[in-house]
A and B are shown apart, each in its own frame.
Chain A
Amino acid sequence: MTEPATEFPPPKILTLSPAHKPILITQGAEGRLYKTPSPFQPDQFCALKYRPPKPYRHPILDARLTKARISSEAKVLDRCYREGVPVPAVLAKDAAAGWMMIEWIEGEPVRVGINKWLGERPEDDAVVDHSQEDETPLIDLMKRIGVAVGALHRTGVVHGDLTTSNMMLRPWADDRLPNGHGDKAEKAKAVAGDVVVIDFGLAMQSQSDEDRAVDLYVLERAFASTHPRAERLFHHILDSYRGAFKKAPGVLHKLEDVRMRGRKRSMLG
């Protein structure tokens, strides 16, 4: 993700209360994410996802797309939230104005947690003897990821962009945190927390094994490129996915096909 080249004006909704300055969290191709005090509970934060108008697009087309995308993302989030999938709740939206306000999820992305666990180790995986190490906390996190994705798919939603950056680790209360001190406990704390799936900008409602398998394939590829040293543990995600979702066997069978062909399409002329 690149830093914005210029300072963007925030959406109008965030300029109504001059006391609070919204913080721009990310600026992607799609839109921007702000952190701002909740208008409903001023002692809490919320996230505001804003899709600004695109200057290159015909204004009628731009308005149509922005409205449809905010509506559909909010609808998918609502559906997941209702069914108990761990996602941020939708608090308010104005699809025509291009924004929705959602629950602020505390904590760090799963990517950061896993990288903290892996720490600064030699790049060459072969020289590290994993048998000496208790990897239970990391494996437990992998299992929680599989359960979250299983719950998502059970709801009839495919995410479209599953990566460890699009999952948050919402911290547990202190009494659930691993005990002890020292390096080992610190490492375990890095991968503690509930997995919350975020950024449904490319999500759609689908029940097909193919779409679900592609969702898993995207996660597998992203995982391998982001955490090559933990790639050998990826199967734990699929194992717990199988346990969490009744239709998983069909999806995992399809995943074999998707792996074989990749995203590749043979090019004609």
Chain B
Amino acid sequence: MSQPHSPPPPPAQPQPPNMTDLLKKPRRIALGCEGSANKLGIGIILHENDTSTVLSNIRHTFVSPPGTGFLPKDTAAHHRSFFVRIALQALRVANITIPDIDCICYTRGPGMGAPLTSVAIAARTLSLLWNKPLVGVNHCVGHIEMGRAITGASHPVVLYVSGGNTQVIAYAEQRYRIFGEALDIAVGNCLDRFARTLEISNDPAPGYNIEQLAKQGGRILLDLPYAVKGMDCSFSGILTRADELAAHMKSGGKGPDGEAFTPADLCFSLQETIFAMLVEITERAMAHVGSSQVLIVGGVGCNERLQEMMGAMAAERGGSVYATDERFCIDNGIMIAHAGLLAYETGFQTPIEESTCTQRFRTDEVLVKWRK
């Protein structure tokens, strides 16, 4: 790793302070590194008594050309070449010095192997360079904790929807338990791949561009499969059917009403169908656990139509929906810093020789010691 503007080497620090010392500290600061998919994010968080403050949250996204997805090799190369730049920017914006930092947090998984590895190596390097303890973080738990911190939702049912994950989660007895999930591809993957079919731009994100296009649709609702099984759902069959309809459209085919239809009609119909499925499984989980709060996290959670539908469902149940904007919904470093610092404050750390990463890491594997 080249470091043209390497910060001055810190004075030798004692290895991780013991926990009573740490909790006596009025200000605790963590730096978090995220790179499980095509976003490289580095964030710095401050925990002061019971409040969390975002000191910096810098992100750089690898955008692939229209019609293509991001490949692990290229994405990892992107993360490697931007890491130092983004890390320095995060430190600068946060306006802190290296001795202020208590721990380095990084995404252990789940995610794509090569990008995860690149960022884990970089995090390990920072840990050794600055003599700071490492904390490996579950990406999904990062999303949940950041969503809770930003919105103030205390005990919500969580819908976690992104390019790689689709889960309905509720907290019980020190675990985030998965009540429902996608049985095949994730909802965001379905959207991303359909954007490729239509050759929509991937900048800033394929899902965002589908959302904008869908706003021009609405004349007709094209018939797509609806695949909910209990609290689980499936998206691959819907994608296949949507791709078929797109091919039909491109060859000049007509819709069920005898009129031609447009990419906007397809995007509209796809969103209406898959979001209805997500809201349905979320409602079922809410009825099951008796909660009226719902928190949406993950990149697809930025979608305002999804938030609107979820809001209508929650309102009918006498509750409300909590959502965040793209700074926190889309993968970011601050959520890794926040969840990592929560774990670190309970005494958790990841010894350097165990600081691996993994593509498969279920949300319910994490012992959530920081909640009652």
Interface residues of A (CB under 8 A from B): 1-2, 4-6, 28-30, 54-58, 60-61, 64-65, 160-161, 202, 264-269
Q: Which residue of B lies closest to A269 (CB)?
A: B164
B204 within 8 A of A: no
Residues of chain B within 8 A (CB-CB) of A1 are: 287, 290
B362 interfacial by beta-carbon distance below 8 Å:
yes
Bound-state Cα–Cα, A49 to B154, Å: 34
A-side interface mostly: loop
Q: Is A269 in contact with B287, judged by CB distance below 8 angstroms?
A: no
Once the chains bind, are A6 and B318 in contact (CB under 8 Å)? yes
Residue in B164, B230, B292, B362 whose beta carbon sits within 8 Å of that of A160 in the complex: B230
Please, which residues of chain B bring their CB within 8 A of the CB of A60? Answer: 221
Q: Among A55, A61, A267, which residue has its beta carbon within 8 angstroms of that of B362?
A: A267
B318 closest partner in A (C-beta): A5
- Which stretch from B21-29, B98-106, B190-198, B276-284 is at the chain A interface? B276-284
**In the complex, B112 has a CB within 8 A of chain A:** yes
Q: A2-B317, A57-B279, A267-B361 are in contact. List 7 more A-B contacts (CB 8 A).
A: A2-B286, A2-B290, A29-B286, A54-B313, A56-B276, A58-B276, A267-B363
B360 touches A267 (CB 8 A): yes
Partner of A61, one of B221, B230, B363: B221
Interface size on B, residues (CB 8 A): 41
22 contacts between A and B (CB under 8 A): A2-B286, A2-B290, A2-B317, A6-B316, A29-B286, A30-B284, A56-B276, A56-B279, A56-B309, A57-B272, A57-B276, A58-B276, A61-B226, A65-B226, A160-B229, A202-B229, A264-B362, A265-B183, A267-B165, A267-B360, A268-B360, A269-B359
Q: Which of B36, B230, B286, B312 contacts A56 (CB 8 A)?
A: B312
- B314 to nearest A CB, angstroms? 9
> Which residues of B does A touch, CB under 8 Å?
36-37, 110-112, 163-165, 181, 183, 221, 223, 226, 229-230, 272-273, 276, 279-280, 283-284, 286-288, 290, 292, 308-310, 312-313, 316-319, 359-363
CB distance from A5 to the nearest CB of B (A): 2
Chain A residue nearest to B313 in the complex (CB): A56
Q: Which of A2, A28, A160, A269 contacts B37 (CB 8 A)?
A: A269
Q: A5-B318, A160-B230, A265-B183 are in contact. Are A61 and B272 (CB under 8 A)?
A: yes
Residue of B nearest to A52 (CB): B316
- The interface residues of chain A lying within 8 Å CB-to-CB of B181 are 265
Specify which chain B residues have a CB less than 8 angstroms from the CB of A160 in the assembled complex. 229-230
Indicate which residue in A2, A202, A267 contacts B292 across the interface (CB closer than 8 Å). Answer: A2
Q: Chain A nearest CB: distance from B140 CB in Å?
A: 8
CB-CB < 8 A to B286: which residues of A?
Answer: 2, 29
9 tightest Cβ-Cβ pairs between the two chains A and B: A5-B318, A269-B164, A29-B287, A56-B309, A56-B312, A29-B284, A58-B272, A266-B360, A29-B283
Contacts of B319 in A (CB 8 A): 5
Question: Which chain A residue shows the least CB distance to B115?
Answer: A269
Q: Is B292 a contact partner of A268 (Cβ separation < 8 A)?
A: no
Contacts of A2 in B (CB 8 A): 286-287, 290, 292, 317
